[in-house]
């Protein structure tokens, strides 16, 4: 059965978000792609899929922007079945170690990745609650957000932000248990060539990753008891 899906940070043709949008459109779903700036890649998809693709402008770092986008969508769709928090932003010091990184840049990354995904869930909660079945929230996390498996000395802002996103996922899983309507996971999506570079050694193209993830999300939609942090290979990952 077709569903209504929202994917954040979906404007970049080589990125995971865009390829998730493409995959769900191929499957016959109605897809809301959120962007911050004009995307020619999405404009091309729009020519192909017409009304089944809705493009919304939304900065997940700004509460008013997310709330405005939600109100706009409420005029166009009566429910959402799946929200995928894919958008990501890292500081220019992401690859630097603790002593060289400007620590004041960390807060913005945490705000966009962790708080931003919660802004999205809060603003679109009303539409998720109107889903005919179990609505699903997927937070695209990363193995870099695992505290117990941390081995790096770089990616401080990104790791902190994804760990915070994972905590938010657990908190919301507890919150949503009460109404039994919305399920939620955080997912390490695999190692993906999201930069489009031919020499990127990552094993998965963004499209391949999107196809794998789409199947995974449906496998897990009704699973309320299992571990909340999972990988693209449908394995539990330690928080
Ligand atoms: N690539 C991998 O191997 C890998 C591994 C683990 C996890 N992941 C995760 O997979 C997801 C997708 O990765 P990716 O490399 O495809 O991401 P990306 O292209 O770097 O970023 C995704 C999108 O996020 C948008 N964005 C940034 N800040 C935003 C904001 N404040 N509000 C709304 N949108 C914003 C960007 O839009 P703009 O064009 O407007 O900047 C961009 O199009 C991310 O969550 C990433 O952490 C990837």
In the reported structure, the alpha carbon of residue 125 is separated from the centroid of ligand 1 by a whole-number distance in angstroms of: 22
In this prediction, residue 62 carries a pLDDT of 98
In this prediction, residue 93 carries a pLDDT of 95
CA dist., res. 11 & res. 23, Å (int): 14
Which helix H or strand E contains 55, and what residues bound it?
A: strand 53-57
pTM here is 0.98
Q: 91 in helix, strand or coil?
A: coil
- Residues lining ligand 1, Cβ inside 6 A: 8-9, 11-12, 15-17, 36-37, 59-61, 86-89, 112, 140, 142, 188-189, 191-192, 194, 202
- The yes-or-no verdict on residue 71 having pLDDT over 90 is yes
Residue with tokens 């949503």: 176
Residues 1-35 as b or e (16 or more Cβ within 10 Å = b) = eebbbbbbbbbbbbbbbbbbbbbbbeeebbbbbbb
For the CA of 11, the nearest atom of ligand 1:
43
pLDDT digits (tens, 9 = 90+) for 145-164: 999 999 999 999 999 999 99
- Map out the domains of the chain with their CATH numbers: 4-231 (3.40.50.720)
In the reported structure, the alpha carbon of residue 194 is separated from the centroid of ligand 1 by a whole-number distance in angstroms of: 9
pLDDT level of residue 6 (50, 70, 90 thresholds): very high
In the reported structure, the alpha carbon of residue 216 is separated from the centroid of ligand 1 by a whole-number distance in angstroms of: 20
When the pLDDT of each residue in the chain is averaged and rounded to a whole number, the result is 97
């Amino acid at each position: 059965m077709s569903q209504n899906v929202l994917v954040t940070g979906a404007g970049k043709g080589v990125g995971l978000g865009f390829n998730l949008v493409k995959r769900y459109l191929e499957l016959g779903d109605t897809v809301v792609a959120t962007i911050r700036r004009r995307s020619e890649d999405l404009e091309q998809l729009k020519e192909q899929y017409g009304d089944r693709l809705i493009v919304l402008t939304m900065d997940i770092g700004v509460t008013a922007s997310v709330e405005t986008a939600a109100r706009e969508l409420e005029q166009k769709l009566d429910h959402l079945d799946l929200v995928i928090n894919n958008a990501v932003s890292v500081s220019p010091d992401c690859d630097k170690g603790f002593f060289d990184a400007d620590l004041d840049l960390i807060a913005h990354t945490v705000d966009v990745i962790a708080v931003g995904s919660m802004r999205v869930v809060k603003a679109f909660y009303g539409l998720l609650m109107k889903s005919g079945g179990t609505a699903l929230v997927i937070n695209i996390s990363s193995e870099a957000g695992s505290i117990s498996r941390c081995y790096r000395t770089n990616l401080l802002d990104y790791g902190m932000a994804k760990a915070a996103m994972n905590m938010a996922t657990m908190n919301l899983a507890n919150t949503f248990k009460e109404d039994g309507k919305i399920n939620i996971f955080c997912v390490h999506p695999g190692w993906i060539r999201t930069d489009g570079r031919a020499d990127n050694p990552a094993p998965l193209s963004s499209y391949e990753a999107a196809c794998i993830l789409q199947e995974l999300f449906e496998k897990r939609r009704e699973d309320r008891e299992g571990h909340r942090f999972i990988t693209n290979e449908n394995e539990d990952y330690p928080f």
